[in-house]
Amino acid sequence: MDEKDGTWGTGEQVPGTGTLNAGGSASVSALSCASDGYCAAGGSYGDAARHDHAYVADETAGTWGTAVELPGITALEGGGNSTVKSISCGAPGDCAAVGTYTEASGLKSHAFVADETNGSWGNAIELPGSEALDTIGRGQLTSVSCTAAGDCAAGGTYLDSTGLYPLMDNESGGTWATARALPSGTIDNTYGTFVTSLSCASAGNCTAGGYYTDAAGPTCARAPGSRGF
């Protein structure tokens, strides 16, 4: 639903999701507006086989267009599952969507990014460089922030043989760099560190936040403590 001049309008189904959502499990998990009446939304819908797939929809001049499966996501997941976890728009019709997809085997998940340019969504791709970090296959991106068209930052998590670590990347001029790990500094990463949100004030100037789980408490006696950073 949209708010105009301080008044909320009536909620409505995202156009097109009724057709996509044969499995009856559609949801909106990400939303961003570049200006009044120019927004993008994303999430996942369930097909008849009970697989979830990422979708996107755009609002132009106050009217929502038809939701479509995120281009390229079928080729990545190969019959698995996917969802958009975050969207950010640097300008009307110029947005980025991030999330996670699971291979058809269901054994490994990976982080993806997709860019919208001049109102057209390009194909989702695996986050460049993330496979080299995410050797176990639990990669995901949970947050993205764009300061202008093609200039964004994204964060999430990857898993290797030693643990869970923050996954970070930047896009400049429409090109995503090679993903890297976020330096943990003095954080006790015994049970993993997760980026849950980030925001950029200008290109290359961002702040990321999330939580880490330390080794507080006797083994098996109580759950490790989770703390924000």
Return averaged pLDDT per consecutive 10 residues of the chain, 229 residues in all: 77 87 89 96 92 95 95 92 97 97 89 97 97 93 96 94 90 96 64 86 91 58 41
| Amino acid 224: pLDDT | 42
- Closest by CA position to 97, among listed 52, 51, 24, 41: 41
Residue 97: what are its φ and ψ, rounded to 5°? Answer: -120, 140
| Amino acid 11: pLDDT | 83
Domain count within the chain: 1
- Closest by CA position to 139, among listed 122, 164, 172: 164
Residue 160: inside a domain, yes or no? yes
Residue 179 domain boundaries: 82-228
| Amino acid 185: pLDDT | 57
Residue 26: inside a domain, yes or no? no
Residue 32: inside a domain, yes or no? no
Instruction: At 166, list the tokens.
Output: 């923050």
| Amino acid 188: pLDDT | 57
Strand ranges of the sheet holding 193-202, from the earlier edge strand across to the other edge: 193-202, 205-213, 226-228
| Amino acid 216: pLDDT | 63
Exposed e or buried b for every residue in 213-227, given b needs 16+ CB within 10 A?
A: bbeeeeeeeeebeee
Instruction: At 228, list the tokens.
Output: 């924000």
Residue 193: inside a domain, yes or no? yes
Residue 100: inside a domain, yes or no? yes
Instruction: At 30, list the tokens.
Output: 């990400």
Contact between residue 98 and residue 156 where contact means Cβ atoms under 8 Å apart: yes
| Amino acid 112: pLDDT | 98
Helix (H) or strand (E) holding 208: strand 205-213
Residue 163: inside a domain, yes or no? yes
Q: Could you give the CA distance from residue 88 to residue 152 in angstroms, rounded to a whole number?
A: 8
Kindly report the pTM of this predicted structure.
0.88
Residue 55: inside a domain, yes or no? no
Contact between residue 92 and residue 85 where contact means Cβ atoms under 8 Å apart: no
Residue 86: inside a domain, yes or no? yes
